[in-house]
Amino acid sequence: MAETRDSTPLQLLIVEDDHPTQIFVHALLKKTQEFSLHTADNGQEAIAAFTAQRIDIIITDLQMDGMDGHKLLSYMAEYHPLVPMIVLTGSTTMLTMLDCLRQGALAFCTKPLADGTQLLQAVEIAKQLVVHRRRQLQHLVRLSRQHRSSKGDASA
């Protein structure tokens, strides 16, 4: 599994209201054995899952009942901009793709997925980004501790 130093697997949320697609994506990612997987049927459920779990990566459809993927992208961009978002949609217009990227999506994958290669590549990029950011944060924490420790030694 893709893990942090504390051996916690990365948490991935699949937001998809089409259950056959949700099942396919879940099975595809489960084969990799790299993530703890969660599912939601719409944006409201996604935000609830995000709040309950420490979600690292989100894959979302765009057209869903209730809160759609566009609104979820906007919400995440405003409140949690460091969480990589991958859009998975049947809408293949350039305008839709550009709009999603402007809203902060890391990648844009089109349905139907065929063998899932495109999605797996996007998830790998998102995983590398999350791991890199965590390493940076751990490094900053170490530097901060060293700095505080050296200030304490200097005042003694």
HSE of 142, CA atoms in CB hemisphere, 13 A: 6
pTM: 0.85
Instruction: With beta carbons less than 8 A apart as the criterion, state whether 102 and 93 touch.
Output: no
Compute the distance between CA of residue 89 and CA of residue 97 in angstroms, rounded to an integer: 10
Report pLDDT for 5.
47
Backbone angles phi, psi at 83, to 5 degrees: -85, 115
Compute the distance between CA of residue 123 and CA of residue 57 in angstroms, rounded to an integer: 8
Fold of 10-155: Rossmann fold (3.40.50)
Report pLDDT for 154.
60
Q: Where are the domains of the chain?
A: 10-155
Report pLDDT for 4.
47
| pLDDT beneath 70, residues of the chain | 1-7, 152-156
Report pLDDT for 115.
87
